[in-house]
Amino acid sequence: MKICVAGAAGAFGRKHLDALANIDGVEVVSVVGGEPDDIEGFASERNIPHATKDLAESLARDDVEAVILATPTQVHAAQSIQCLKAGKHVLVEIPMADNLADTEELVRVQQETGLVAMTDHVRRFNPSHQWIHNKIEAGELNIQQLNVQTYFFRRSNLNALGEPRTWTDHLLWHHACHTVDLFLYQTGEAASQAFGLQGPQHPELDIAMDMSIGLKTPSGSLCTLSLSFNNEGPFGTFFRYICDNGTYIASYDDLFDGNENPIDLSGVAVSNNGIELADREFISAIREGREPNGSFAQCLATMQTLDRIEKSFDEG
């Protein structure tokens, strides 16, 4: 399968390239960059035959079958639609859009084209969360509360590699999107209640730097989510599953019990890399002609919930 990676020189574009290199029968034939990338030099270093700063140029190539979009949030929806209308399957980094109207249009275009369209909700694929999901599916666990902290120190516009960004990140439509989707996925329910509180806007970035979100399902499971770009100290996202049969702490691809004893995740999946596992799901869904885990349609409820949370900010 021949793939184009757009936003290839960015932090997550590089992670996808590394992941794809571990998957048999996959070749990256084109990469797309933006300013200030030296995308030609980047492609040359990785022996990728085609590089451009124009996504349309890659989409016009007959050898491109599918596209992975690791581009700025603000262009996810438009570029995903562009890929689908060009006849290419698409995997887009979260969020698939930064508003509900664009999300609904994405779902409509996917249904119209019948192509595989997937959002990279990597938490669905991290072995730590897969272990929990398997226990829930087997009837061995029920979530009483998912308590999550998403903390960064990002008072200037830098990416995960500490490099200057050309766009601005968002606590709700990006970072909260991870946890909202995970909570709905793990409980198998929609949110019957959803609200959020946000702190002051950054004077230059024009985004809230602190946020608190609460969710509840009809069966009574709770999600408590704290987010901050003002945190000094260890950064990332830390998940505490408080269940009817144990407490579990997940940190990306690692899992511990409530007393911080490690849990063996060997055998949960073919890789310990959540990004690679998501990419494998995307490629398998194309090959098998099926809906992927994390399809646009499956993730619509997540985006509807984010929209409800955003509206609740104004109510406060």
Sequence spans of domains, the chain:
2-121+275-295, 123-272+301-315
CATH class of the domain at 2-121+275-295: alpha beta
pLDDT the model gives residue 160: 57
pLDDT the model gives residue 310: 94
Using the structure block, give the residue that is written with the tokens 């730590």: 128
pLDDT the model gives residue 167: 58
Spatial CA neighbour of 193 closest among 215, 177, 176, 225: 215
Mark residue 257 as left, alpha or beta (left: phi above 0; alpha: psi -120 to 50; beta: remaining). beta
pLDDT the model gives residue 252: 78
Phi, psi of 195 (to 5 degrees): -150, 165
Q: In tens digits, what is the pLDDT along the chain, a chain of 316 residues? A: 999 999 999 989 999 999 999 999 999 999 999 888 899 999 999 999 999 999 999 999 999 999 999 999 999 999 999 999 999 999 999 999 999 999 999 999 999 999 999 999 999 999 999 999 999 999 999 999 999 999 987 666 665 556 666 656 788 999 999 999 999 999 999 999 999 999 988 877 778 899 999 999 999 999 999 999 898 887 789 999 999 999 999 987 899 999 999 999 999 999 999 999 999 999 999 999 999 999 999 999 999 999 999 999 977 5
CATH code that applies to domain 123-272+301-315: 3.30.360.10
pLDDT the model gives residue 81: 98
Strands of the sheet with 210-216, listed across from one edge: 193-198, 210-216, 222-228, 143-151, 236-243, 246-251, 254-257
